[in-house]
Structure 1
Amino acid sequence: MLASEINIPAPPSKVDFLIVGGGPVGLLAANLIVQAGLTVRILDIEYEPSHWGRGDWIHGRTLELLERAGLETELIKTGVKVDKMSSYMNGKLQKEIPFVPEDTESKHEYLLCVGQHITESSLQSQLSEHDVQVERPATVVSMDRENEGEYPITATVMHLQEGKGSEEVQCKYVLGCDGAHSDIRQQLGITNEGETSETHAGVLDALIRTNFASRKEVCIVQSDHAKTISMFPRENGLTRIFVHFNEDEHEQRKEQHNRNKIQMEDIQREAKRALLPHRIEFLGILYWSIYVVGQRYASRLDSEDRRVFLCGDAAHSQSPTLGQGVNTGFGDIFNLIWKVCMVEKGQLNRKFLSTYHSERWGVAQQVLSIDKTAAKAAAGHEAADYCDVVEKNRLFTAGYGIKYEYNSEDEQSLMWLSGNESKDYVMQPGMRAPNYKVFGYVSGKKTRLFDAVVKNSQVPSWLTFTLFVLAHDLRSTHDIVSKFLNETAKANTLLPPTNVVVVTTSTADQVANYKSLLDSERVVIDKLNQAQCHRAYHRKHDATIKNHSEGEQVHVVLVRPDGYIGTILRGDDGLSLSNKVCQYFSNIV
Structure 2
Amino acid sequence: MQYHLNGFKPGNHQIPDAAREPASLAPIVDLPSEVDVLIVGCGPAGLALARQLAAFGDIKTCIVEQKPGPMLFGQADGISCRTMEIMEAFNSSEMLVKEAYQLHQNAFWEPDNEQPNHIKRTHKVADARLGLSEFTHSVVNQARLHDILLEGMAQSVTHLVPHYNRQLLTLEVDSELTQDLNAYPITASFERVDAQPAKVETIRARYVVGCDGARSAVRKNLSIVLEGDSANKAWGVMDVLLVTDFPDIRVKSFIQSKDNGAVMLIPREGGYLVRLYVELDLLDKDQRASNLELNVDDIIAKAQLIMSPYKVDVKEVAWWSIYEVGQRVADRFDNTPAGNPEGLIPRAFVAGDACHTHSPKGGWGLNTSLPDTFNLGWKLAAVLRGQSDAKLLQTYSSERRKIAQHLIEADRQMSALVATRPSAQKDTQVKTNTADIEKFIARQNGFIAGTSIQYNPSFICSGTEHQHLATGFTIGQRFHSAEAIRLTDGRPQHLGHLNKADGRWRIFIFGNQQNPTDRASDVYQLVQFLESSVTSPVKKYTQDNADIDAVIDVYGVFQQQDLSIEDLPDYLWPTKGKYGLRDYEKVFHAKQDSDIFSQRGIDRTSGCMVVVRPDQHIATILPLNATEELSAFFAEFMLA
Equivalent in the alignment of 2:249: 215
Relative to structure 1, the CA distance from residue 435 to residue 93 in structure 2 (aligned partners, 3 Å threshold; closer, same or farther) is same
Relative to structure 1, the CA distance from residue 424 to residue 569 in structure 2 (aligned partners, 3 Å threshold; closer, same or farther) is closer
Pick one of 154, 157, 179 that aligns with 2:187: 154
1:579 aligns with 2:628: yes
What is the TM-score normalised by the length of structure 2?
0.79
Equivalent in the alignment of 1:91: 120
Query: Equivalent residue of 1:209, what SS?
Result: strand
1:351 aligns with 2:391: yes
1:82 aligns with 2:103: yes
Relative to structure 1, the CA distance from residue 19 to residue 421 in structure 2 (aligned partners, 3 Å threshold; closer, same or farther) is closer
One-letter identity of the residue aligned with 2:268: R
Contact 1:57 1:112 in 2 (8 A): yes
Equivalent in the alignment of 1:337: 377
Contact 2:510 2:556 in 1 (8 A): yes
One-letter identity of the residue aligned with 2:633: Y
Pick one of 138, 161, 174 that aligns with 1:132: 161
- State the Cα distance separating 1:498 from its structure 2 match: 1.3
Question: Which whole-Å CA distance do the structure 1 matches of 2:126 and 2:406 have between them?
Answer: 23
- State the Cα distance separating 1:116 from its structure 2 match: 1.9
Aligned-pair identity (%): 26
- State the Cα distance separating 1:504 from its structure 2 match: 1.7
Task: Please give the per-residue CA displacement for 1:531-562, whole angstroms capped at 9, x wherever unaligned.
Answer: 34455245xxxxxxxxxxx5331210001011
- State the Cα distance separating 1:192 from its structure 2 match: 1.1
Equivalent in the alignment of 1:32: 52
Pick one of 379, 383, 394 that aligns with 2:419: 379
What is the TM-score normalised by the length of structure 1?
0.86
One-letter identity of the residue aligned with 1:136: N
Equivalent in the alignment of 2:334: 302
Query: Equivalent residue of 2:333, what SS?
Result: coil
Equivalent in the alignment of 2:66: 45
Equivalent in the alignment of 1:547: none
Greater shift in the superposed pair: 513-522 or 50-59:
513-522
Equivalent in the alignment of 2:587: 523
Task: Please give the per-residue CA displacement for 1:346-405, whole angstroms capped at 9, x wherever unaligned.
Answer: 111101110000100000000111011000111135222223222211211111011112
Equivalent in the alignment of 2:307: 275
The runs of 5 or more residues in structure 1 that have no matched partner are 1-5, 408-412, 454-459, 539-549
- State the Cα distance separating 1:290 from its structure 2 match: 1.3
- State the Cα distance separating 1:585 from its structure 2 match: 0.9
Contact 2:486 2:588 in 1 (8 A): yes
Equivalent in the alignment of 1:457: none
Contact 1:471 1:505 in 2 (8 A): yes
Equivalent in the alignment of 2:223: 189
Question: Which whole-Å CA distance do the structure 2 matches of 1:313 and 1:326 have between them?
Answer: 9
Greater shift in the superposed pair: 419-428 or 189-198:
419-428
Query: Equivalent residue of 2:221, what SS?
Result: helix
Contact 1:472 1:506 in 2 (8 A): no
Task: Please give the per-residue CA displacement for 1:246-265, whole angstroms capped at 9, x wherever unaligned.
Answer: xxx62799989785154433
Equivalent in the alignment of 1:62: 83
Relative to structure 1, the CA distance from residue 476 to residue 276 in structure 2 (aligned partners, 3 Å threshold; closer, same or farther) is same
- State the Cα distance separating 1:584 from its structure 2 match: 1.2
1:481 aligns with 2:523: yes
Question: Which whole-Å CA distance do the structure 2 matches of 1:290 and 1:588 have between them?
Answer: 46
Question: Which whole-Å CA distance do the structure 1 matches of 2:263 and 2:96 have between them?
Answer: 26
Query: Equivalent residue of 1:386, what SS?
Result: helix
Task: Please give the per-residue CA displacement for 1:99-147, whole angstroms capped at 9, x wherever unaligned.
Answer: 4143x2x331x22211222222333333334152333133241314244
The runs of 5 or more residues in structure 2 that have no matched partner are 1-25, 111-118, 337-344, 421-431, 543-550, 574-583
One-letter identity of the residue aligned with 2:558: T
Equivalent in the alignment of 2:439: 388
Relative to structure 1, the CA distance from residue 554 to residue 125 in structure 2 (aligned partners, 3 Å threshold; closer, same or farther) is closer
Query: Equivalent residue of 1:337, what SS?
Result: helix
- Count of residue pairs the alignment pairs up: 551
Contact 1:91 1:223 in 2 (8 A): no
One-letter identity of the residue aligned with 1:482: Y
Question: Which whole-Å CA distance do the structure 1 matches of 2:60 and 2:283 have between them?
Answer: 50
Relative to structure 1, the CA distance from residue 488 to residue 423 in structure 2 (aligned partners, 3 Å threshold; closer, same or farther) is closer
Task: Please give the per-residue CA displacement for 1:492-523, whole angstroms capped at 9, x wherever unaligned.
Answer: 2323611112112222x256795457536322
Pick one of 482, 487, 506 that aligns with 1:436: 482
